[in-house]
Amino acid sequence: MAALGVLAAAGARAGTEPGYYFDQTLVFDGVERLYDLQVPAGYDGTAPLPLVVDLHGYGSNKSQQSLISGMAALGDAEGFAVVWPDGLTSSWNAASAAGSR
């Protein structure tokens, strides 16, 4: 996840327009990973920007999480970027009774 945070923050500082950036990708350990990124309105790319990683629950995805969490509006209001990554097979690498991997 650290690589995702660094990539998202670097993209935000590279002069992109504020707003949502859907279906961004990175490759980690040979696997293409998807994420959405939001940069707050008014951000000019000149100063470091806090980044919040908003993870979805088991069986969900990045799009559903961005709709239900409220982090998009909060990020715009408080001035931080938000990234919504997709887990592999709708889960994270956490052992559980549900058998997620």
81, part of any domain: yes
79, part of any domain: yes
95, part of any domain: no
Task: Tell me the whole-structure pTM to 2 decimals.
Answer: 0.73
34, part of any domain: yes
Q: Retrieve residue 22's tokens.
A: 């859907």
| Cα–Cα distance for residue pair 22/25, rounded to 1 Å | 9
91, part of any domain: no
For residue range 30-89, list pLDDT tens digits in order.
999 999 999 988 888 888 999 999 999 999 999 999 999 999 999 999 999 999 999 988
> What is the dihedral angle through the alpha carbons of 51, 55, 61, 62, rounded to the nearest 10 degrees?
-10
Q: Retrieve residue 82's tokens.
A: 């938000």
99, part of any domain: no
SS3 21: strand
Q: State how many domains the chain has.
A: 1
Q: Retrieve residue 30's tokens.
A: 């040979």
Query: What are the distances in angstroms from CA 61 to CA 15, 24, 91?
Result: 27, 14, 8
94, part of any domain: no
Q: What is the pLDDT of residue 7?
A: 36
